[in-house]
């Protein structure tokens, strides 16, 4: 095992990067570690001499990527590739965080395994898939992890957005054909640190893993749970109506029916804690803040 402080985190200022920092990861800001700047990557590696690197840096504005494709690719694809190549040269294993949006269609009754062929339908998904390909092509020891629906009480998330809208409207239409595994950043960070330690120790780790808790749910189903908690706490409780994703045209297409199969990761790391208590806690924290 290695000390968490020997894990260098790219994207340290983000929600996931902050969670990794809480576990002792060395998570500098972008001014010190910018994955689009080879000189900064080299300096950060030389200064910290990490045993492993976790790449949590990403352009995450899914709709914005449709008009900012150059920026999305510079960070998600070429930035990931630059980091991977420099890690490979230095002999440092890399844990790279990707997304379920490398897929576009699925059956919620049939979770998608790591062997499935990706087929993104958005610029964001394409940029993340290119990042995966560049990490593999770099030739270093690595593990790519795909995740979905990250949340916490920091910044914006599905919970914060839906509570804000629910406080203003008596009825909400919620998408019922978009599925995922709501994943709080703290248990995800714990799994990532565990994987990084395994990579650094030379333990056999697959090159690709899907991560997330049990009990996947639709946006509609998650919203029902959110407002059930909110109502008991004196918060908003609008009427909810399930609708197909086509009801809400967006600049970027969304994946429909896609659920990642996490069996391989569960067998290797142990199951991730259930998302429901984390979701409930976040609802209470956000309501308390007003």
CB 199 within 8 A of CB 230: no
CB 145 within 8 A of CB 188: no
CB 114 within 8 A of CB 56: no
pLDDT digits (tens, 9 = 90+) for 51-76: 999 999 999 999 999 999 999 999 99
DSSP letters, 59-103, are: ---TTGGGT-HHHHHIIIIIIHHHHHHHHHHHT--EEEEEEGGG-
Q: Which of 105, 61, 87 is nearest to 9 (CA)?
A: 87
| Mean pLDDT within 223-242 | 96
Over 60: is that where the pLDDT of 271 sits? yes
Domains in the chain with CATH codes: 4-153+181-216+260-274 (3.40.50.720)
Over 90: is that where the pLDDT of 3 sits? no
User: What pTM does this model have?
Assistant: 0.95
Over 80: is that where the pLDDT of 6 sits? yes
What lies within 8 Å, CB to CB, of 193 at 6+ separation is: 4, 7, 20, 23, 25, 54
Confidence of residue 155 (pLDDT cuts 50, 70, 90): confident
Over 60: is that where the pLDDT of 178 sits? yes
Confidence of residue 248 (pLDDT cuts 50, 70, 90): confident
Report how far residue 107's alpha carbon sits from residue 93's, in angstroms, rounded to the nearest whole number: 34
Provide the pLDDT for residue 165. Answer: 94
Helix, strand and coil in the chain, % to nearest 5: 45, 15, 40
Catalytic residue set: 124
Provide the pLDDT for residue 2. Answer: 58
Report how far residue 122's alpha carbon sits from residue 7's, in angstroms, rounded to the nearest whole number: 32
Provide the pLDDT for residue 4. Answer: 64
Query: Between the CA atoms of 21, 25, 29 and 34, what dihedral angle is there, to the nearest 10 degrees?
Result: -140
Report how far residue 50's alpha carbon sits from residue 38's, in angstroms, rounded to the nearest whole number: 17
Over 90: is that where the pLDDT of 225 sits? yes
CB 223 within 8 A of CB 162: yes
Pairing of strands 150-151, 183-184: parallel
pLDDT digits (tens, 9 = 90+) for 13-52: 999 999 999 999 999 999 999 999 999 999 999 999 999 9
């Amino acid at each position: 095992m290695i000390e968490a402080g020997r894990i260098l985190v790219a994207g340290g200022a983000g929600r996931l990067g902050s969670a990794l920092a809480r576990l002792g990861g060395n998570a500098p800001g972008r001014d010190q570690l910018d994955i689009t700047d080879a000189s900064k990557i080299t300096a950060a590696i030389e200064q910290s001499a990490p045993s492993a690197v976790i790449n949590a840096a990403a352009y995450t504005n899914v709709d914005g990527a449709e008009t900012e494709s150059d920026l999305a690719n510079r960070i998600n694809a070429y930035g990931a590739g630059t980091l991977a190549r420099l890690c490979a040269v230095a002999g440092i294993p890399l844990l790279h965080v990707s997304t379920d949006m490398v897929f576009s269609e699925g059956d919620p009754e049939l979770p998608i395994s790591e062997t499935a062929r990706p087929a993104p339908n958005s610029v964001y998904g394409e940029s993340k898939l290119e990042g995966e390909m560049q990490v593999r092509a770099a030739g270093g020891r690595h593990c790519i992890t795909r995740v979905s629906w990250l949340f916490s009480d920091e910044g914006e998330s599905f919970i914060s957005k839906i509570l804000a809208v629910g406080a203003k409207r008596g009825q909400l239409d919620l998408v019922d054909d978009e599925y995922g595994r709501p994943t709080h950043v703290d248990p995800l960070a714990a799994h990532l640190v565990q994987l990084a330690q395994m990579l650094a120790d030379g333990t056999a780790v697959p090159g690709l893993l899907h991560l997330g808790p049990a009990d996947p749910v639709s946006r509609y189903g998650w919203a029902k749970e959110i407002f059930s908690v909110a109502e008991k706490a004196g918060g908003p409780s609008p009427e909810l109506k399930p609708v197909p994703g086509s009801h809400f045209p967006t600049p970027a297409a969304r994946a429909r029916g896609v659920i990642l199969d996490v069996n391989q990761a569960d067998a290797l790391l142990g199951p991730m804690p259930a998302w429901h208590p984390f979701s409930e806690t976040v609802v209470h924290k956000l309501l308390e803040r007003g």
